[in-house]
Amino acid sequence: MIDLYFWTTDNGYKARHMMEESGLNYTIKPINLKEQEQFDPDFLKISPHHKIPAIVDHDGPNGETITLFESGAILKYVGSKMINRLYPDDVVSQVSVDQWLFFGSAQFTTIAQQFGFFMVRSAIDIPEAKSHYEELMKDMFTCLDLELLNREYIAGDYSIADISMYSDVRVYGVDKFIGFGAYPNLKRWFSSISQRPAVHKAWGPY
């Protein structure tokens, strides 16, 4: 059994999407960020930088309990543990998945969060910050769209690399933010992943 420490944010949904794809038993432990629950001392023992998502696997390696934070690390761990692996076994495929997984975690979501902050949550309107992050978002959408021209999924077969980017494409692909008009391949990728039963469950009520 895996405990998933979750809240309804892009990174939270990445991990929940992964758990649904895995078919492994898991329980959602909500960490209400609006109530600052991420600073609870018990949660900080699991996730020292007060961030969701995090997991506790009570059936970890050698049958021992293991804790894990950082969405990319969680995707990789769960992807390696599941039966129909979404993290491949062979090194050449791993390299391909890893580079896009790290792009998803370190680049794509990091910029998307800043874009979201200045577009939605900032108490003051800063047009320069908005246009700066909008350009960066469009640049990343363009990159993904070009990559997906000749591939169904970002690293070949559907994998944790796709999961690492799906949530922010879902949140910011809508017309009021970036939109899909200039990115037909990314739109096709997004529609295909959106139809997966695991995605319906992951983005549904809990």
Ligand X SMILES: N[C@@H](CCC(=O)N[C@@H](CS)C(=O)NCC(=O)O)C(=O)O
Phi-psi label, residue 36: left if phi above 0, alpha if psi -120 to 50, beta otherwise? left
Interface with ligand X in residues 9-68 (CB under 6 A)? 9-11, 33, 38, 50-53
For CA atoms 190, 193, 194, 195, give the dihedral sign.
positive
Q: Which is nearer to ligand X, 50 or 85 (CB)?
A: 50
In a 13 Å sphere around the CA of 33, the CA atoms on its Cβ side amount to: 12
Q: And the tokens for 43?
A: 């949660």
CB proximity list for 60: less than 8 A, separation 6 or greater: 66
| Nearest approach, Cβ of residue 14 and ligand X (Å) | 7
**Piece of the chain touching ligand X by CB under 6 A; list 55-63, 69-77, 128-136, 168-176:** 69-77
| Nearest approach, Cβ of residue 63 and ligand X (Å) | 26
Determine, following the binding rule CB under 6 A, whether residue 145 of this chain makes contact with ligand X: no
Distance CA(144)–CA(156), nearest Å, equals 13
Q: Which is nearer to ligand X, 164 or 183 (CB)?
A: 164
User: In 3D, which of 112, 119, 117, 113 has the Cα closest to residue 176?
Assistant: 119
Determine, following the binding rule CB under 6 A, whether residue 70 of this chain makes contact with ligand X: yes
| Stretch 83-112: interaction string toward ligand X, x if CB under 6 A | ----------------------x-------
Binding residues (CB under 6 A) for ligand X: these are 9-11, 33, 38, 50-53, 70-72, 105
